[in-house]
Amino acid sequence: MSDSRRNLKAIVDYLLEYDHVVEVGIGRRTDVAAQLVQAGVAVTATDVYLRDVPDGVRSVRDDVVDPDLEVYADADAIYARHLPPELHRPTLEVARKADTDFLFTTLGGDQPAIPVERRTIREGTLYVARSQPG
C-alpha cells in the first residue's frame, strides 16, 4: 500500500467513529467520502461549486465563509482536506454553531490558525478542533 493510501486510510479510520460527517470543499478528491459511505457513514460533501460525488454521498453547494447552517446541523463531525489557513476559523465557527467536531489537514507546511489537538498520520498531521473550547 502506498504512503498516500495509508494516509487516506488513517483519515477514514479516524472518521469512522462518527455516524454523519460533512466534508468541506470536496473538490475532485472524493476518495475519503467514498470510503466512508462504503463503511456506513452518512456523508454530505460541500463545495462552492456543485461537484460530482460518489454514489451515496450527498452533494451541496455551500461556502463555509457564508454557510447555510442547515447543511451542518445533523453532522457529528465536519472535516476538510488541504484546508487553507484562511478557512480554519470560519469552518471552526460553523462547527461550533453545529456543536460538532472539526477535523482537517493542511497543505504542506501550513500550520493551523486555530487551537487544535494534533493526531499524527502517515504523511502529516490530522488536526482536531472540538466544538466546545477547552
pLDDT, one tens digit per residue, over 2-32 is 556 666 788 899 999 999 999 999 999 999 9
**Residue ranges making up the domain that contains 125:** 11-130
Is residue 6 included in any domain, yes or no? no
Is residue 1 included in any domain, yes or no? no
| Structural domains of the chain, count | 1
Is residue 34 included in any domain, yes or no? yes
Q: What is the mean pLDDT of residues 23-51?
A: 96
Q: What is the pLDDT of residue 9?
A: 83
3-state secondary structure of 34: helix
Is the pLDDT reported for residue 89 higher than 70? yes
Q: What is the pLDDT of residue 109?
A: 83
Q: What is the pLDDT of residue 124?
A: 76
Candidates 47, 48, 67; CA nearest to 57 is: 47
Is the pLDDT reported for residue 88 higher than 60? yes
Q: At a CB cut-off of 8 Å and minimum separation 6, what does 66 contact?
A: none
Mean residue pLDDT across the chain: 91
Here the CATH number for the domain that contains residue 36 is 3.40.50.150
Place of cell 454514489: 55
Q: What is the mean pLDDT of residues 105-122?
A: 88
Is the pLDDT reported for residue 130 higher than 90? no
Is the pLDDT reported for residue 131 higher than 80? no
Is residue 21 included in any domain, yes or no? yes
